[in-house]
Amino acid sequence: MPPPRTPLLTVDAVIIGKDGESIILVKRLNPPFKDYYALPGGFVEVGERLEEALRREVKEETGLEVEVERIIGIYDEPDRDPRGHVVTVAYLCREVEGELRASTDAKEAKRFTLKEAASLKLAFDHEKILRDAEALGAWK
């Protein structure tokens, strides 16, 4: 298969827990970054709107329903994903309902304090996305 002619598109979710302080991360089941924690997210399907893809990916990976608050940023470094040029739109979300559980390509879904999450080595550029969310006042 020839390489794509344009970057691939993904969405990522910074999910603030119902307590207003925790963040939900998933442990990746598959490469790249197998066994690293990451923000829930994934590839946008053809014909799918970004927020629909975000809600689908969050539900698939964590079992949770979320309310989308705002875009944190667009991350487009060509080398941010070892599989190729992948652009992501990161969203700030709040947990609404559901039971936290790992599913699909997540080995584990877990709540962390922001301090705990900051001490983890995260997949892709998710440390930067978390810092950007914090700078926006996501936990205030």
Which tens digits make up the pLDDT trace of 14-27? 999 999 999 999 99
What's the confidence (pLDDT) of residue 31?
94
**Residue that wins the pLDDT comparison between 65 and 118:** 65
User: Between the CA of residue 100 and those of 53, 57, 75, what are the distances in Å?
Assistant: 19, 13, 27
How many other β-carbons are positioned within 10 Å of the β-carbon of residue 82? 10
Both tokens of residue 98? 């559901």
C-alpha–C-alpha distance, residues 56 and 51, integer Å:
8
Q: Report the first-to-last Cα separation within the chain, whole angstroms.
A: 47
Please state the rounded mean pLDDT for residues 56-76. 97
Coil, strand, or helix at residue 45? coil
Summarised one tens digit per residue, pLDDT across range 90-102 is 999 999 999 999 9
Summarised one tens digit per residue, pLDDT across range 109-137 is 999 998 999 899 999 999 999 999 999 98
Q: What is the pTM of this model?
A: 0.94
C-alpha–C-alpha distance, residues 14 and 69, integer Å:
10
**Residue that wins the pLDDT comparison between 139 and 13:** 13
Please state the rounded mean pLDDT for residues 40-50. 97
Number of H helices, E strands in the chain: 3, 7
How many other β-carbons are positioned within 10 Å of the β-carbon of residue 40? 24
Q: Would you please indicate which residues are annotated as catalytic (active-site) residues?
A: 108
